[in-house]
Structure 1
């Protein structure tokens, strides 16, 4: 906590604030349309000199607002029905809380190693994974999906996070037979639940840099609002290479400055 208090008192430069705001705008848009916004925001925060655990907590704050905005639009426009997702959201929430509690038990030196490794692996997944194909029939029962698959993805979100929205969408298409657009819409609500649950744990631990969080929150709101209104007019797969290029750029910045 002493390290966190010292860092907050030092503040961030205007240049870094503008940089984080712009990254959050793009991440909010991309996360709503295709998932993977955390591939931009997490390395952006860490490359700004913020310790890994605080970077994860700050990312959850601004990410929660973006996913909540997208979820609100989905529910208000009846793209998703509350009755269909409420139990799934509960599973995502529980998994995320457990994942967040786990990551806070790790030595931060391990996080400095894990963060770039996972970012690189997820970027490769976005680059080389085939387009998910809708199944004629669900390959996973509703109970198994709700009680195991969704909580596991939620736990990953609580532990680290980037790419969670895409994993939820992929699971909906490949395991539950949803269309890609419908699975993406449902994924917003599940990602919202996991983000909020993780945020509560990070708030309790004091692992949030408020100056960066508030600036990025504004950017996420703008990006998520634009993305939510464009979701059903833009093919999410068109953004795949943009996600990869930007995430690898953020990763290169992180490795260069570390």
Structure 2
């Protein structure tokens, strides 16, 4: 664990307040890193430390959202445990891989995938709260979950959107149920990443937990609104966040 002495103290309360907003966004549609990651990079911390610290705060926020969605009866821990296990393994592998490999290829591919998510969300009649017959069952979805988990551990932006849209399109879940299960899979993948980054000494736990408190507050509010208003709130926010992430990643091509 690291905690550089030269990090200005005002970053702690400022990032904690920002995490309230990003926790809200993450709980409803995912993509809070769209805001948090660029701000964390302004602290001057190394990119891998930024990734690790962001995973700590994200884990806290998704844990709160997971608990809220579970209490609302949107998914079962026991039923979804096998998928969660393969997501954990996938994220573990992805987090180990990013320590040694470049994410440049993903920076080119992910915007295309996010645009596809936005288009599917806008035009597909399946993006509602009504459950449908799925193309894949729990076991059939496991390779998909492992793949998204690997991606979340390796790179991250848009993982929540990929979980949600595949759970709707392939598993046949209604959008609010898919969002609830997404948070469970997200917290598992975040936990795997946090373990890897912590062992590698690339996570600032004091800053991460301060931000995590903010993220939990935002996640509590966001999950409350999502369970109350359902797809009519989640669907447009999913589109906005997907497009926002795409623009942010494309901007990164030219700013690099």
1:144: which partner in 2?
A: 140
Q: Deviations 1:128-179 (Å, cap 9, x if unpaired)?
A: 5543442843223432212x10000000111121221211111110001111
Q: Residue 59 of structure 2 aligns to a residue in which SS? A: helix
Q: Is the 8 A contact 1:35 1:166 kept in 2?
A: yes
Change (3 A) 1:244 1:136: closer
2:197: which partner in 1?
A: 202
Q: Is the 8 A contact 1:28 1:220 kept in 2?
A: yes
1:176: which partner in 2?
A: 171
Segments of 4+ moved more than 4 angstroms: 113-129, 244-258
Q: Identify unmatched segments of 5+ residues in structure 2.
A: none
Change (3 A) 1:83 1:214: closer
Q: Is the 8 A contact 1:120 1:248 kept in 2?
A: yes
- Choose which of 6, 11, 20 in structure 2 pairs with 1:10: 6
Note if 1:31 corresponds to 2:29: no
Matches for 1:35-54 after TM superposition, within 5 Å: 35-54=30-49
Note if 1:95 corresponds to 2:90: yes
How far apart, in 2, do the equivalents of 1:215 and 1:256 lie?
33
How far apart, in 2, do the equivalents of 1:47 and 1:121 lie?
27
Change (3 A) 1:71 1:44: same
Q: Is the 8 A contact 1:21 1:218 kept in 2?
A: yes
1:162: which partner in 2?
A: 157
Matches for 1:57-76 after TM superposition, within 5 Å: 57-76=52-71
Structure 1 position 244, deviation (Å): 6.0
C-alpha RMSD of matched pairs (Å): 3.0
Change (3 A) 1:168 1:127: closer
Q: Comparing 197-206 with 123-132, which one deviates more in the overlay?
A: 123-132
Structure 1 position 21, deviation (Å): 2.2
How far apart, in 2, do the equivalents of 1:35 and 1:139 lie?
24
Q: Residue 10 of structure 1 aligns to a residue in which SS? A: coil
- Choose which of 201, 209, 231 in structure 2 pairs with 1:214: 209
Structure 1 position 83, deviation (Å): 2.3
Structure 1 position 256, deviation (Å): 10
* TM-score when normalising by structure 1: 0.82
How far apart, in 2, do the equivalents of 1:133 and 1:120 lie?
23
1:239: which partner in 2?
A: 237
Matches for 1:109-148 after TM superposition, within 5 Å: 110=102, 124=115, 128-131=119-122, 132-134=124-126, 136-146=132-142, 148=143
